[in-house]
C-alpha cells in the first residue's frame, strides 16, 4: 500500500532528529533508567559531567555525582509521584565538575522506565554559601561596616553643623567653601546610609501582599517619571496568591528593576508578568524539603542586554555599566529579595532581558 513508505521514513527519521535536537540544546540533559543508570547524555551534559557518552552511558549516576547530592532525591520523588519536579539553586559538587549552582527539572519517564533530568546553570544572588567560614567572614565585615557607618555619622553631623554656623558670618568666597563642606558631608552620609541598608539583618515585617497592586503602583510611578516614553505591557496571572512580603520593600524591588529596564531601553517596551509555579523551591543543602517559592514575577525589556563584563557581578554593590549609574539598584534588589527568602536572577540577550523574582506565598488566612 502507498502508506508503507512514508511510515518507515517517519519511524527512522525522528529518532535521529530527536538526538541532534537534544545535542543542540545548551542545557545538559541526562536520562536515567529505573536502576539509576545513565541511558542518555546530550552534548551539553557530556561537557558538564566532563566525560564522553561512551564513558558515561551505563554508569550509575551516584558514581558520578555523590550520593548526598539533592539530585538523587529529586529523581526518586519524581519517579515515586509520577510528576515533574523542579528545584532552584541546587549546589552540585563533584571532583570532576567542581561546585556548580543549577536549577534542576526532573520528569519521570512513562511506565517506570526512569527519569529525564535537565540542568540549567544559574547566576543567582543567593549563591548558597559554599564555605561557612566565608559566610562568617562576610558577616563580620558587615558588622564592622555597620559600626563604622554608625560611628562616622555622628562626627559628620558635628562638622556639618559647624560649617553651617561659619556660613553666617562668612564672606562670599568663604561661603563657597562652607557650602562645599556641607555638600560633601551630605554625600558621605548618603553613602553610609546605603552601606547601613546592606548590613541591616533584622527580620522584616511581613503580611500578605497583592503583588499586582504593587506592580501597578510601580508602573504608575514609573510612567509619571523616568519611564514617561515607554510602553508598558502586563501579563498577570489573575489567580496569583498573595506574597508573604513587605509592601514597601516589594515596591522598591520592582521600582529598581523597572528603572533599569527603562534606562536600558529608551522609548522601549517594558513587560511585567506574574505566574504561579508550585514546583519552585529553594534547596538548602541538608535542610530537608527547602523553601517553597511559587510566585514568579518578571520584568522584561527590549534593550541591548546586560554587558558581558558585568554578568558575574551584576548584583554586587557599585557595579555599573552606565555613565551615571551608581550600581546600587540591583544590590538593593538582591538584599530585599533575600530578606523575603526569595531568589532573583536574570537572563539577557540583545532585545530581551528578563529579571525574574521568585517569592514565597502567604499562608491562607494571613501569615
Ligand atoms: N535591564 C537591563 N538591561 C541591561 N543592563 C542592565 C539592566 N539592568 C541592569 N543593567 C546593568 O547593570 C548595572 C547595575 O545596575 P544597578 O541597578 O545595580 O545600578 P545602576 O542602574 O547603574 O545605578 P542605580 O544605583 O542608580 O540603580 C547597570 O549599570 C547596567 O549596566
Ligand atoms: Mg539601577
Confidence of residue 128 (pLDDT cuts 50, 70, 90): very low
Does the pLDDT value for residue 134 go beyond 80? no
Count CA within 13 A, CB hemisphere, residue 361. 19
Range with the lowest mean pLDDT among 8-17, 268-277, 329-338? 8-17
CA of 314 to the centre of ligand 1 (A): 8
Share of the chain above pLDDT 90, in %: 41
Extract the C-alpha cell encoding 150: 554608625
Pairing of strands 343-349, 352-359: antiparallel
The finding on whether 253 has its CB within 6 A of some atom of ligand 1 is no
- How big is the chain by its Cα radius of gyration, in Å? 26
Q: What are the DSSP E strand ranges found in 109-222?
A: 114-121, 207-209
Edge to edge, the sheet with strand 38-41 lists 38-41, 29-33, 114-121, 98-108, 85-94, 281-282, 291-292
What is the model's pTM? Answer: 0.64
Ligand 1 atom with the smallest distance to the CA of 299 is 1
CA of 65 to the centre of ligand 1 (A): 37
Ligand 1 atom with the smallest distance to the CA of 322 is 29
Ligand 1 atom with the smallest distance to the CA of 325 is 22
Identify the pLDDT of residue 288. 43
Identify the pLDDT of residue 136. 58
Identify the pLDDT of residue 125. 44
**DSSP string computed for 196-215:** HHHH--PPPP-EEE-HHHHH
Taking CA atoms only, the protein residue closest to ligand 1 atom 7 is 260
CA of 354 to the centre of ligand 2 (A): 14
The finding on whether 60 has its CB within 6 A of some atom of ligand 1 is no
Does the pLDDT value for residue 50 go beyond 60? yes
Average pLDDT over residues 269-291: 72
Query: For residue range 60-92, what is the model confidence (pLDDT) as tens digits?
Result: 998 888 888 888 988 998 888 888 888 877 778
**Is the Cβ–Cβ distance between 287 and 264 less than 8 Å?**
no
Query: Residue 169, SS3?
Result: coil
Query: Residue 157, SS3?
Result: helix
Count of CB atoms situated within 10 Å of the CB of 233: 10
Closest ligand to the CA of 299: 1
Confidence of residue 111 (pLDDT cuts 50, 70, 90): confident
Average pLDDT over residues 163-168: 90
- Mean pLDDT (the chain) is 84
Query: For residue range 324-352, what is the model confidence (pLDDT) as tens digits?
Result: 888 889 988 998 998 898 989 999 999 99
**CA distance to 62, 141, 283, 286, 343, per residue, from 69 (Å):** 9, 31, 11, 10, 21
**Is the Cβ–Cβ distance between 54 and 84 less than 8 Å?**
no
Pairing of strands 352-359, 291-292: unpaired
| Probe target for ligand 1 pocket from 255, 258, 260, 317, with the most ligand atoms within 8 Å of CB | 260
| Probe target for ligand 1 pocket from 230, 254, 330, 354, with the most ligand atoms within 8 Å of CB | 330
**CA distance to 54, 138, 236, per residue, from 312 (Å):** 34, 18, 30
Does the pLDDT value for residue 361 go beyond 90? yes
Taking CA atoms only, the protein residue closest to ligand 1 atom 30 is 321
Q: Name the residue among 84, 131, 81, 124 with its Cα closest to residue 102.
A: 124
Identify the pLDDT of residue 11. 47
Amino acid at each position: 500500500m502507498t502508506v508503507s513508505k512514508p511510515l518507515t521514513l517517519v519511524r527512522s527519521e525522528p529518532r535521529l532528529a530527536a538526538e541532534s535536537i537534544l545535542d543542540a540544546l545548551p542545557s545538559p540533559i541526562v536520562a536515567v533508567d529505573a536502576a539509576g543508570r545513565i541511558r542518555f547524555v546530550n552534548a551539553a551534559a557530556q561537557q558538564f559531567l566532563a566525560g564522553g557518552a561512551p564513558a558515561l552511558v551505563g554508569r550509575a549516576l551516584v558514581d558520578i555525582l555523590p550520593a548526598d547530592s539533592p539530585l538523587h532525591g529529586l529523581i526518586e520523588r519524581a519517579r515515586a509521584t509520577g510528576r515533574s519536579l523542579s528545584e532552584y539553586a541546587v549546589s552540585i559538587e563533584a571532583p570532576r565538575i567542581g561546585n556548580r549552582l543549577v536549577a534542576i527539572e526532573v520528569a519521570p519517564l512513562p511506565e517506570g522506565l526512569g527519569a529525564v533530568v535537565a540542568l540549567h546553570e544559574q547566576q543567582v544572588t543567593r549563591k548558597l554559601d559554599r564555605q561557612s567560614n566565608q559566610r562568617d567572614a562576610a558577616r563580620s565585615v558587615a558588622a564592622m561596616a555597620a559600626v563604622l557607618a554608625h560611628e562616622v555619622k555622628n562626627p559628620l553631623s558635628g562638622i556639618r553643623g559647624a560649617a553651617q554656623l561659619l556660613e553666617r558670618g562668612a564672606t562670599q568666597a568663604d561661603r563657597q567653601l562652607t557650602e562645599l563642606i556641607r555638600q560633601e558631608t551630605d554625600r558621605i552620609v548618603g553613602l553610609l546610609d546605603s552601606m547601613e541598608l546592606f548590613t541591616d539583618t533584622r527580620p522584616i515585617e511581613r503580611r500578605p501582599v497583592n503583588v499586582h497592586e504593587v506592580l501597578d503602583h510601580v508602573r504608575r510611578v514609573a510612567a509619571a517619571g523616568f519611564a514617561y516614553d515607554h510602553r508598558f505591557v502586563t501579563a498577570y496571572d489573575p489567580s496569583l496568591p498573595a506574597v508573604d512580603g513587605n509592601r514597601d520593600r516589594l515596591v522598591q524591588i520592582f521600582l529598581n528593576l523597572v528603572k533599569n529596564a527603562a534606562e536600558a531601553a529608551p522609548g522601549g517596551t517594558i513587560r511585567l508578568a506574574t505566574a504561579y509555579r508550585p514546583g519552585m523551591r529553594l534547596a538548602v543543602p541538608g535542610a530537608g524539603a527547602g523553601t517553597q517559592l511559587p510566585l514568579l514575577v518578571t520584568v522584561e525589556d527590549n534593550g541591548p542586554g546586560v554587558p558581558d563584563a558585568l554578568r558575574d557581578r551584576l548584583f554586587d554593590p557599585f557595579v555599573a555599566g552606565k555613565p551615571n549609574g551608581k550600581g546600587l539598584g540591583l544590590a538593593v534588589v538582591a538584599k530585599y529579595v533575600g530578606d523575603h527568602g526569595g531568589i532573583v536572577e536574570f537572563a539577557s540577550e540583545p532585545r530581551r532581558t528578563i529579571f525574574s523574582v521568585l517569592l514565597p506565598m502567604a499562608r491562607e488566612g494571613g501569615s
